[in-house]
Amino acid sequence: MAATSKKLMTQEMLLQAGIDAIKKLNPVMMFRNPVMFIVEVGTFITLLLTIAPDLFGSSTVGRGYNLAVFLILLFTLLFANFAEAMAEGRGKAQAESLRSTKTEMTARLEQKDGTTKEVPSTQLRKGDIIIVQTGELIPADGEIIAGLASIDESAITGESAPVIKESGGDFSSVTGGTRVVSDAITIRVMTDPGESFLDRMISLVEGAQRQKTPNEMALTTLLAVLTLIFLIVIITLVPMASYLNVHLELSTLIALLVCLIPTTIGGLLSAIGIAGMDRVTQFNVLAMSGKAVEAAGDIDTLILDKTGTITYGNRMAAEFIPVQGITEADITWVALQASVKDETPEGRSIVELAGKKGSVWKEDQYASAEVIEFTAETRMSGLNLADGSEIRKGAVDAICTYVLAHGGSIPSDLGDISNRIAKAGGTPLAVASVGKIYGIIYLKDTVKPGLKERFAEMREMGIKTIMCTGDNPLTAATIAMEAGVDDFIAEAKPEDKIAAILKEQQEGKLVAMTGDGTNDAPALAQADVGMAMNSGTMAAKEAANMIDLDSDPTKLLSVVSIGKQLLITRGALTTFSIANDIAKYFAIIPAMFIIALPQLQSLNIMHLNSPASAILSALIFNAIVILLLIPIAMKGVKYRAMTADRMLTRNVLIYGLGGVIVPFIGIKLIDVVLSSLHLV
Binding residues: 342, 346, 374-381, 393, 516, 520
Q: Is 88 helix (H, G, I), strand (E, B) or coil?
A: helix
Give the span between the Cα atoms of 372 and 406, in whole angstroms: 17
Whether 205 contacts 95, CB under 8 Å: yes
Q: Which of 613, 609, 615, 606 is nearest to 588 (CA)?
A: 615
Instruction: Outline where 283-342 has alpha helix (H).
Output: 290-297, 328-339
Q: Which helix (H) or strand (E) holds 351?
A: helix 345-356
**Sheet strands (E) in 451-551:** 464-468, 487-489, 511-515, 529-533, 546-548
- Supply φ then ψ for residue 234, to 5 degrees: -65, -40
In whole angstroms, what is the distance from residue 500 CA to residue 518 CA? 18
User: Which residues belong to the annotated binding site for ATP?
Assistant: 342, 346, 374-381, 393
CA distance 570 to 657: 16
**HSE-up (13 A, CA, CB side) for residue 591:** 26
DSSP 654: I
> Could you tell me the CA-to-CA distances from 613 to 353, 378, 490 in Å, in that order?
75, 92, 71
Per DSSP, the three-state class of 164 is strand
Q: Where are the beta strands (DSSP E) in 324-463?
A: 370-372, 380-384, 390-395, 427-433, 436-447
532 CB neighbour count, 10 Å cutoff: 30
3-state secondary structure of 603: helix
Please say whether the beta carbons of 501 and 511 come within 8 A.
yes
3-state secondary structure of 594: coil
Query: 416: part of which helix (H) or strand (E)?
Result: helix 414-423
Q: Compute the distance between CA of residue 146 and CA of residue 671 in angstroms, rounded to an integer.
A: 75
Question: Rounded distance, CA 312 to CA 161, Å?
Answer: 18
- The conformation of residue 339, written as its DSSP 8-state character, comes to H
- Cβ pair 397, 297 in contact under 8 A: no
d(CA 338, CA 369): 11
Q: Interior CA angle at 408 toward 406 and 409, to 5°? A: 145
Strands in 427-433's sheet, in edge-to-edge order, are 311-322, 436-447, 427-433, 390-395, 380-384, 370-372
DSSP H helices, 206-305, are 214-243, 250-260, 263-282, 290-297
Catalytic option among 128, 170, 278, 305: 305
Active site (annotated) includes residue 305 = yes
Q: Is 177 left (phi over 0), alpha (psi -120 to 50) or beta?
A: left
In the chain, the amino acid numbered 68 is A
Which residues are annotated as part of the binding site for Mg(2+)? 516, 520
- CA 342 from centre of chain: 38
Other CB atoms within a 10 A radius of the CB of residue 125 amount to 11
List CB contacts of 397: < 8 A, sequence separation 6 or more.
none
Of 77, 460, 510, 91, the closest CA to residue 287 belongs to 91
* β-pair partners for 146: 186
Q: Which residues are catalytic?
A: 305
